[in-house]
Chain A
Amino acid sequence: MSMFGQVYVKDNQYKIKGDFHHLTPNQPIRDADGWKLLGVTNPRDMTYIHSYGGEAVFFESLSQGKLMATRCDNPKCEAQGTIYQPFRIHCMDCLRKCTVIDMTDLAQKTAKIHTFMVCERSGAFSILDKPIKFINVEFDGVATILMGYLSLGDPKIGMSVVPIFKRTSPTYTILDLSWVPSGTPEKRLPEGFSY
C-alpha cells in the first residue's frame, strides 16, 4: 500500500519513509498526420525535502496564531531598529542575526493594503480558490511590505485588514496566513482559520 512520503529529523539527519515518487510509464508522441514518432512523455512525480532553517519559527508561529517578524538590534548598524516583514533571519545591511519579535498586535492594529491584484488564473498545484486576491500589506513602523492573500471582500489600496491564521489542520506554509477586512466577524472566516 502506498503512503505519502514523510520525513523527520534525528540527530540532525533526515529520516524518510513512504513513497517519494510514483512510477508512470513513458508514452510516445506521434504526429497525427502519418503517425511519425516525434518524441516521448517523461512523467515525473517527486516529493522535495525542504528546510525552513532560521525561518522555521515564522511558519510554526502561524499555526499558533502569531505573526513573527525580525528587527535589527545591532547598535553599530545604520539599520538598527528596522523591522522586517517578511521575516529576515539576518539584517540585510550588517548581516548580523536579527531579533525575532511578535508583531501580531501591530498587524491587527495597523495593517493596510499597499497594493493588490485579483488574478483569474493559477498555476498547476495551486490549492487557492480562484480568483486569487493578492494583497501587499504595509504596517506602521515596518520597513517592508508583506505579500499575502485576502480571503474575504474586495481589496482596495489603503483598506484596513487583519491577519487570520489557519490553526486547524495547518499546512505549515505561507498559506496558513491570510487577511480579511477589519471588523469581519469570526464566524465568517474560512474553515480552519481564526483570529
Chain B
Amino acid sequence: MGLRRIAIASAVGAMFLVGACGQATVESVPSTELHMSRVKDYTIADLRAESTMVVRGTASTSREEEVDKVPVTFTRLRLDQHVAGLGAGAEWVEIVQLGGSAVSSPDTSPLLADGDRYLLFLKPYTARSRSAVPAFVITGDQGVFRESSGGYEFTGAPSDELPARFTADSLVAQARP
C-alpha cells in the first residue's frame, strides 16, 4: 500500500515536473539583446530644439531589417497633423526604431503599435532606406507619446526627465516654438 502511494505520488510529481519543464521550453526567447549607453535625458525643450518636425500620426504596418548588423524596425506612420517644424511633404512617413520582434531591447523606445496614435518629435534618418516614403528617427529616442484617455502617455526610452503623462493641449502647446 505504502509503495503504491509512493509510486502514485512520484508519477503525479513527475507529471507536474514535465509540465513545468514543457512550459519553460515553450516560452519565447529573444534571439538577441541590445543594451545602450544614453547620451542624456531629453526635456521637452531639448526635443523641440533638436527636432526637424513634430507630427501626430497613426502607426501602421512595420518591417524588420538589419542595418550595420543592428536589428531595426521600420514602421509606417500615416500623418494626421503637422504640429511644428518642417513638413514631411508626404502623407506617409516611416519611423525607424532599434529592435525587433525577436530582440530584447530594454533601453530603447518600445516599437510603435499598429493602429495606435502618437505625437512624435522627429529627425531625418540619415542612412539609405529602401522605402519610397521619407524615413525619420525619434529625437533622442524619447520624443514619442501615445494618445490615451484624452491625453498623451510617454512611450520613449526610459527617462528621468519627462513626465509619464501630458494633457493633449499641454503637449501640443509645448511642442510648438
Q: Do A and B bind each other?
A: no
